Amino acid sequence: MEATTTGHTRAGTVVVFYRPDAECVARANRLVSFGPCVVIDNTEQTGKLDSIGLDSRIDFVANGANLGVATAINQGIEVLIARECDYAVLLDQDSEPSDYLLHALVRTMESQLSCGKKVALVGPTYEDKRLGGVTPFVRFRPWRLQRIVPTGSSPVEVDFLITSGSCLNLAAWPVIGPMDDALFIDFVDLEWCVRARLKGYSVLGAPALRLSHSLGGEPVRAFGRAYPGHSAIRHYYQFRNAIALLKRSYMPWSWKSTELVKLPGRLVIYGLFMSPRVEHLRMALLGMWHGLIGQLGIWGRS
């Protein structure tokens, strides 16, 4: 049954694939009972919907190249807009939301809109047991992040939400604009949320809703804490995009100050605790240089 709460609302899902396995395909297939589902496949070799086992009701776009998370989300949202959907639930290929969560996200969004609020995005907190369980919501504060423990049932104003599991109000999309293709992957969600708030829209965390989600690869422990593990190329994008966003005038100073504090620590952790150390350090430094000179887009493509 399609996701409807007022008799006409249609909510769909956008799932981004990259080298999916059979479990990723099975998770996507379960989403067709919720509403229109779009799968954007960033795998390098172009596949066909039937050849990878996707349900025939899914709108499948095979890019034949890794065009990045931002571009894939933009493609998926355009399909849902063409399908006359009101909301889009954005998902990574390894995210497995329950039926309850999908419908609760839509209900939460509609409840807030019915009160006259301008809302761009509603999202759950996520649970990653490898990193210590439930992750708090975040607000930007000078030189630090204010971490908001998700308690109670009322949505809370936050400064950004991660993409996976978030419900996007498609009526706000033309006003805010698409995700920034040039960022490719890291900080895509944060940058879009900043633009949404600058346009007067709220970004709301729903503390009663949970999504099991693995952030990055196998975590590494350093200085008594667990940090998400990423490949060296991901650290390239992370450092490059952080520097690039630090240069943008519309990004809030509170976020910039926090990043200036965090960047040296990240460089130490990736250079000392992640293997191969030299490659992680090299790619992080290269990313910082490219961020400084404004060389964005897909790594390795001029």
Task: Report the pLDDT value the prediction gives residue 5, as an integer from 0 to 100.
Answer: 42
For residue 264, give both structure tokens: 């040296």
pLDDT of residue 294: 95
Closest to 42 measured CA to CA, from 173, 181, 178: 181
Given this model, what pLDDT does residue 214 score? 61
Residue type, 6: T
> pLDDT value at position 302?
41
11-212: CATH architecture: Alpha-Beta Complex (3.90)
Give the closest residue to 124 by CA, choosing from 143, 142, 106: 106
Divide the 302 residues of the chain into consecutive groups of 10 and give the mean pLDDT of each group.
Answer: 53 96 94 96 75 91 95 98 97 92 97 96 84 82 92 94 96 98 96 98 96 65 64 92 98 96 88 84 95 90 50
Domains of the chain, residue spans: 11-212, 217-293
pTM: 0.91
